[in-house]
């Protein structure tokens, strides 16, 4: 068996910063809350909770005057306002790239109709949308374009400003942008805000899938970027396995003659990737 691990596999810089800062905060506080999943990886969350972090689904569940962590994906505008009204000490660990997109959106509010390319149920997309004002629309797929154009035409704006969720599909971004340009006669101002790490990881998994017999994609079940890596690999290769950890790796799916490609999502820590490799090594003596 031969194992090839993607060079861009595992934590991106933003997630690494968020997890490191969260651990520092947990160690320095006698109980600190986190609103939602700090990153989309159950192992990372469990380790932080074992150290004392308390994850809550609703800010209402955080007692007034407490300390709370806001996750890497960012929060909606009303959540910041609620935190202020509850006199919470907020440690905002939003990814710097996400924060930059938020600022860009606010600069275009009232000037252009804002279109956000992203998963409609993803917290990052929801955060961006909350800052975009009333004249905004989320496009998740090509099927959303006709309604988006209709909304633009109903507005008083003659230009569109386009941004994207940091972990959005690069190929789908280009497809949607092409169809927008062919469907709308006005000006389209576009910021490709997909994270560079996301683009490099997607390009690499596409290339790697064409060079191996089987692929293992490692990441949290709620991780948008991990699912996208799986979809890209699956477009090139039949035998692709999406797992969260070594425990969910089924050895019977592999043989000693396989060449295996491995890629971890942006929220997957190195130790989980290493455990998967060690499990394969222990069975097949690589």
What pLDDT is attached to residue 285?
72
- Answer yes or no: is pLDDT of 260 > 60: yes
Least confident of 11-15, 98-102, 189-193, 232-236: 11-15
E-strand stretches of 57-134: 67-70, 89-92, 113-117
- pLDDT (0 to 100) of residue 257: 93
Query: What is the Cα–Cα distance from 221 to 227, expressed in whole angstroms?
Result: 8
pLDDT tens digits, residue range 144-194? 999 999 999 999 999 999 999 999 999 999 999 999 999 999 999 999 999
Q: Is residue 126 within 8 Å of 76, Cβ to Cβ?
A: yes
Q: What pLDDT sits at residue 14?
A: 85
pLDDT grade for 83, boundaries at 50, 70 and 90 = very high
* Alpha-carbon span 174 to 282, nearest angstrom: 43
Indicate the pLDDT class of residue 284, thresholds 50, 70 and 90.
confident
% of residues, the chain, pLDDT over 70:
100
Token pair 């997890």: residue? 19
Cα separation, 254 vs 207, in Å, equals 21
263 and 240 Cβ atoms separated by less than 8 Å: no
Q: What is the pTM of this model?
A: 0.86
For residue 129, the model assigns a pLDDT of 97
CA distance 27 to 15: 18
- Mean pLDDT, range 255-267, rounded to an integer: 94
Average of per-residue pLDDT values in the chain:
94
- The pLDDT value recorded for residue 147 is 97
pLDDT in the model for residue 10: 85
Nearest to 114 by CA among 101, 99, 97, 96: 101
Share of the chain above pLDDT 90, in %: 88
pLDDT score of 158: 93
pLDDT value, residue 12: 85
CB-based contacts of 48: which residues, under 8 Å, 6+ apart? 19, 22, 23, 26, 34, 38
Average pLDDT over residues 64-68: 97
Catalogue the active-site residues: 124
Mean pLDDT of 4-9: 93
Residue pair 66/92 in contact (Cβ under 8 Å)? The answer is no
In the predicted structure, residue 286 carries a pLDDT above the cut 60: no
């Amino acid at each position: 068996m031969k194992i090839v691990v993607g060079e861009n596999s595992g934590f991106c810089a933003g997630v690494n910063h968020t997890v490191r800062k969260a651990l520092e905060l947990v160690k320095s506080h006698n109980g600190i809350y986190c609103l939602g999943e700090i990153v989309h990886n159950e192992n990372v969350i469990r380790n932080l909770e074992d150290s004392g972090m308390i994850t809550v689904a609703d800010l209402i569940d955080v007692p007034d005057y407490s300390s709370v962590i806001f996750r890497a994906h960012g929060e909606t505008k009303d959540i910041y306002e609620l935190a202020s009204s509850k006199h919470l000490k907020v440690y905002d660990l939003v990814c710097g790239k996400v924060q930059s997109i938020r600022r860009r959106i606010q600069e275009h509010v009232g000037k252009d109709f804002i279109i956000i390319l992203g998963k409609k149920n993803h917290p990052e997309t929801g955060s961006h949308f909350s800052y975009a004002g009333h004249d905004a629309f989320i496009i998740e797929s090509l099927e959303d374009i006709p309604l988006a154009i209709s909304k633009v035409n109903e507005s008083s704006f003659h230009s569109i400003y386009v941004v994207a969720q940091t972990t959005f599909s690069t190929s789908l971004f280009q497809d949607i942008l092409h169809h927008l340009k062919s469907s709308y006669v006005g000006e389209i101002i576009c910021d490709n805000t997909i994270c560079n790490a996301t683009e490099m990881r997607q390009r690499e998994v596409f290339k790697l899938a064409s060079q191996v017999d089987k692929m293992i994609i490692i990441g949290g079940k709620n991780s948008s970027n991990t699912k996208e890596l799986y979809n890209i690999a699956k477009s090139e290769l039949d035998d692709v396995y999406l797992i969260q950890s070594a425990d969910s790796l089924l050895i019977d799916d592999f043989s000693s003659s396989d060449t295996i490609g491995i890629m971890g999502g942006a929220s997957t820590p190195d130790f989980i990737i290493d455990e998967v490799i060690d499990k394969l090594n222990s069975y097949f003596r690589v």
